[in-house]
A and B are shown apart, each in its own frame.
Chain A
């Protein structure tokens, strides 16, 4: 989410969305559409990384923007709009994880086999050769599989810090953790992700 904008550390005062948000708050409903277009893909990607399936990711994206619109009057500009939106999406995702009995702290060694590869489904770039497309697709599937194997509590930290590029403090606030806990989990999550990727690559070479 922050890839196209400065990170949250820049503070809410430099929030590039604030003028549009104020317009919506003043009753200009059409001003909400540009905000949706700006963030729909980032929210969807984040939801997909957390939920590990397309349908849930789409539902969460819809819920996020509907709730954001309904509660926009409550947005005071104390954080960036993008951070506020992320918080809504995370709450929706956590609610859904609880409802689906997906434990937040499931075992490190229990990847959900039925979800494997779902995140990686995407049309390949037709400008590349078939070999390049295949290699990219295989890498996507490996990363998706490795990510889906992380415990949800670690995955959430990893997604907020490294994908959404939120600050440690904002991540801690959204997940109701201490800053130190976020830092510990982040390092562990990165390690687990890379170790899983290495194991997957080794296993593939063994099969090949």
Chain B
């Protein structure tokens, strides 16, 4: 019988199927007679299945959401509209003269010109997966829960605002902001939002979104019936 060491140097080639017939026959013959080398070959076999057993099958849900959120922000970051870049709070350098000029413009009615095309909608934050069901059954978006909105199929469907039986979808940037808001809120349901942006082709290109505090019992502001006319404003 051949020495074990030279035989073991062929193990890699044997496992990769790279040995010629004669060499393979010699190695297999040695293995038949040598239990130590058989054990050694067992240790050298591919370990993919073993590795997979030691690792989670998927990325944990919070980490996956954070990745999606960070990527969405990166992929869809675009310069703010000109009028928005001059709003106070964006740069911290908003000059007093500009504020005065804006106030004058607003007073003279010209402010509307700067805001033309932009809308502010109030309603419930709902995903596009659940919204049609809620609308079909005439159920208020208030009952839609945060837990449901964070489910994979709901996240993947994207978000929007539901008001007065009408659902307006967000663009990808809006979805990222909505997801961020959902991840950080403690509210379990009554996900009341105020969202502003521009509506194009039935999609709201979100500039700002605010998830409001859960209303006190009896508070009707922001419910479907009390919401501002989101759809009308959007038109």
Which A residues are closer than 8 A to B by beta carbons? 29-30, 32-33, 36-37, 40-41, 44-45, 48-49, 54, 58, 61-62, 65-66, 69, 119-122, 139-140, 142-144, 146-147, 158-159, 161-163, 165, 168, 183-184, 186-187, 189-191, 193-195, 197
CA distance A113 to B86 in the complex (A): 54
Within the complex, what minimum Cβ distance (angstroms) separates B150 from chain A?
16
**B74 interface hit (Cβ, 8 Å):** yes
**B106 interface hit (Cβ, 8 Å):** no
Partner of A119, one of B11, B55, B156: B55
- Given A40-B64, A143-B54, A187-B11, CB of A69 within 8 Å of CB of B75: yes
**B213 interface hit (Cβ, 8 Å):** no
Chain A residues lying within 8 Å of B172, measured Cβ to Cβ, are: 29-30
- Given A30-B172, A193-B50, CB of A62 within 8 Å of CB of B70: yes
Instruction: Determine chain A's interface SS by DSSP, over half rule.
Output: helix
Contact B67 A159, beta carbon cutoff 8 Å: no
Contact A32 B71, beta carbon cutoff 8 Å: yes
Chain B residues lying within 8 Å of A33, measured Cβ to Cβ, are: 71, 75
Contact B44 A40, beta carbon cutoff 8 Å: no
Contact A143 B63, beta carbon cutoff 8 Å: no
Residues B23-73 near A (CB distance < 8 A): 40, 42-48, 50-60, 63-64, 66-68, 70-71
Contact B54 A119, beta carbon cutoff 8 Å: yes
Contact B56 A190, beta carbon cutoff 8 Å: no
- Please, could you name 29 A-B residue pairs with CB atoms under 8 Å apart, sorted by A? A30-B75, A33-B71, A41-B57, A41-B59, A44-B59, A49-B55, A58-B59, A58-B63, A61-B67, A69-B71, A69-B75, A119-B54, A122-B56, A139-B53, A140-B53, A140-B55, A143-B53, A143-B55, A147-B54, A158-B47, A161-B46, A162-B46, A163-B48, A168-B16, A187-B44, A190-B43, A190-B44, A190-B47, A193-B47
Which B residues are closer than 8 A to A by beta carbons? 11-12, 16, 40, 42-48, 50-60, 63-64, 66-68, 70-71, 74-76, 156, 172
Chain A residues lying within 8 Å of B63, measured Cβ to Cβ, are: 44, 54, 58, 61
Q: Nearest chain-A residue to B76 (Cβ)?
A: A29
Partner of A191, one of B43, B70, B74, B156: B43
- Given A58-B63, A58-B66, A191-B43, CB of A183 within 8 Å of CB of B12: yes
Chain A residues lying within 8 Å of B64, measured Cβ to Cβ, are: 40
Give me the 3 closest cross-chain CB pairs, A-B, nearest first.
Answer: A143-B54, A44-B59, A122-B56
Chain A residues lying within 8 Å of B70, measured Cβ to Cβ, are: 62, 66
Chain B residues lying within 8 Å of A147, measured Cβ to Cβ, are: 51, 54
Within the complex, what minimum Cβ distance (angstroms) separates A20 from chain B?
14
CA distance A189 to B45 in the complex (A): 11
Q: Which of B43, B47, B71, B172 has most chain A Cβ within 10 Å?
A: B47
CA distance A54 to B42 in the complex (A): 31
Within the complex, what minimum Cβ distance (angstroms) separates A34 from chain B?
10
Q: Nearest chain-B residue to A48 (Cβ)?
A: B55
Q: A139-B53, A187-B12 are in contact. List 13 more A-B contacts (CB 8 A).
A: A32-B71, A36-B71, A45-B52, A58-B59, A58-B63, A61-B67, A66-B71, A66-B74, A122-B57, A122-B60, A140-B55, A158-B47, A189-B47
Partner of B54, one of A29, A66, A69, A144: A144
Contact A54 B67, beta carbon cutoff 8 Å: no
Chain A residues lying within 8 Å of B16, measured Cβ to Cβ, are: 168, 183
